[in-house]
Amino acid sequence: MKDTAICAIASPIGSSALGIIRVSGNDLTSLINRVFSRSFEDRKATLANINDENEILDQSIIIYYKSPRSYTGEDLIEIICHGNHIVMNSILNLLIKNGARSANPGEFSERAFFNNKINLAQAEAVADLISASDQKAVKAAQNSLSGKFAKEINSIAQIILSTRAEIESIINFPEDDDVPDLNIESIQTKIDKTLLLLSDIIKNSREGATLNQRKSYAFVGKPNSGKSSLINCLLRKDASIVSNQSGTTRDAIEYELNINNKIVNIVDTAGIRDTNDDVEKEGILRTLKSIAYADKVFYIVDDSKGIEDSEKKFIEKHKIKNHIILYNKIDLTGKNPHIHSSGEYVCVSARDNLGINLIKKIIEEDFSCINVSENTYLARTRQIELLYKSQKHLNESKQNMTSGNFDFSAEELRLAHVALSSILGQNSTKELLDEIFNSFCIGK
Ligand X SMILES: Nc1nc2c(ncn2[C@@H]2O[C@H](COP(=O)(O)OP(=O)(O)OP(=O)(O)O)[C@@H](O)[C@H]2O)c(=O)[nH]1
Q: Which residues contact residue 231 at a Cβ distance below 8 angstroms, ignoring those fewer than 6 apart? A: 219, 239, 240, 255, 266, 268
Alpha helices in 267-380 (DSSP H): 278-293, 309-317, 330-333, 356-368
Task: Report the residue from 228, 287, 349, 391 that binds Mg ion according to the rule CB under 5 A.
Answer: 228
Residues 70-99 that bind ligand X (CB under 6 A): none
Which of the listed partners (ligand X, Mg ion, none) does 223 bind, with a CB threshold of 5 to 8 Å by partner kind?
Answer: ligand X
Cis peptide before 68 (omega within 30 of 0): yes
Residues 360-379 that bind Mg ion (CB under 5 A): none
Q: CB 227 → Mg ion: shortest distance, Å? A: 5
Task: Using the rule CB under 5 A, give the single segment among 53-61, 101-109, 224-232, 326-334 that binds Mg ion.
Answer: 224-232
Query: Which residue number is nearest to ligand X in terms of Cβ?
Result: 271
Q: CB 305 → ligand X: shortest distance, Å? A: 11
Binding mask 225-264 for ligand X (x = CB under 6 A): xxxxx------------xxx-xxxx---------------
Which of the listed partners (ligand X, Mg ion, none) does 164 bind, with a CB threshold of 5 to 8 Å by partner kind?
Answer: none
Q: Which residues contact residue 421 at a Cβ distance below 8 angstroms, ignoring those fewer than 6 apart? A: 157, 427
- The smaller minimum CB distance to ligand X, of residues 73 and 226, is found at 226
- The smaller minimum CB distance to Mg ion, of residues 216 and 248, is found at 248
Q: CB 361 → ligand X: shortest distance, Å? A: 18
Distance in angstroms (rounded) separating the CA atoms of residues 167 and 184? 9
- The smaller minimum CB distance to ligand X, of residues 19 and 337, is found at 337
Task: Using the rule CB under 6 A, give the single segment among 17-25, 44-52, 219-227, 411-419 that binds ligand X.
Answer: 219-227
- The smaller minimum CB distance to ligand X, of residues 249 and 397, is found at 249
Which of the listed partners (ligand X, Mg ion, none) does 351 bind, with a CB threshold of 5 to 8 Å by partner kind?
Answer: ligand X
Closest C-alpha among 2, 9, 3 to residue 92: 9
Q: CB 350 → ligand X: shortest distance, Å? A: 4
Longest dimension (CA), the chain: 89
- The smaller minimum CB distance to ligand X, of residues 119 and 328, is found at 328
- The smaller minimum CB distance to ligand X, of residues 143 and 224, is found at 224
- The reply to whether 350 sits near ligand X by the rule CB under 6 A is yes
Which of the listed partners (Mg ion, ligand X, none) does 244 bind, with a CB threshold of 5 to 8 Å by partner kind?
Answer: ligand X
Q: CB 268 → Mg ion: shortest distance, Å? A: 6
Q: 412: how many CB neighbours lie within 10 A of its CB?
A: 24
Contact 51, 36 (CB under 8 A): yes
Distance in angstroms (rounded) separating the CA atoms of residues 142 and 221? 41
- The reply to whether 232 sits near Mg ion by the rule CB under 5 A is no
Strands (E) in 14-164, as ranges, are 16-25, 46-52, 55-65, 75-83, 101-102
Q: What one-character DSSP code corresponds to residue 36?
A: B
Alpha helices in 294-341 (DSSP H): 309-317, 330-333
Strand bridging mode 253-259 / 338-339: unpaired
Q: Which residues contact residue 117 at a Cβ distance below 8 angstroms, ignoring those fewer than 6 apart? A: 68, 70, 71, 72, 73
- The smaller minimum CB distance to ligand X, of residues 243 and 438, is found at 243
Residues 236-265 that bind Mg ion (CB under 5 A): 248-249
Q: CB 223 → ligand X: shortest distance, Å? A: 4
Q: ∠ CA 187-191-196 to the nearest 5 degrees?
A: 145
- The reply to whether 332 sits near ligand X by the rule CB under 6 A is yes
Task: Report the residue from 99, 105, 147, 223 that binds ligand X according to the rule CB under 6 A.
Answer: 223
Can you say whether residue 106 is alpha, beta or left, with left for phi > 0 and alpha for psi between -120 and 50 degrees?
left
Alpha helices in 294-380 (DSSP H): 309-317, 330-333, 356-368
Size of the site for Mg ion (CB under 5 A): 4
Residues 292-331 that bind ligand X (CB under 6 A): 328-329, 331
Closest C-alpha among 184, 156, 188 to residue 170: 184
Task: Report the residue from 70, 205, 224, 409 that binds ligand X according to the rule CB under 6 A.
Answer: 224
Looking at the DSSP bridge assignments, the partners of residue 326 are 300, 346
Q: CB 249 → ligand X: shortest distance, Å? A: 3
Q: What residues make contact with Mg ion under the rule CB under 5 A? A: 227-228, 248-249
Q: What residues make contact with ligand X under the rule CB under 6 A? A: 221, 223-229, 242-244, 246-249, 271, 328-329, 331-332, 349-351
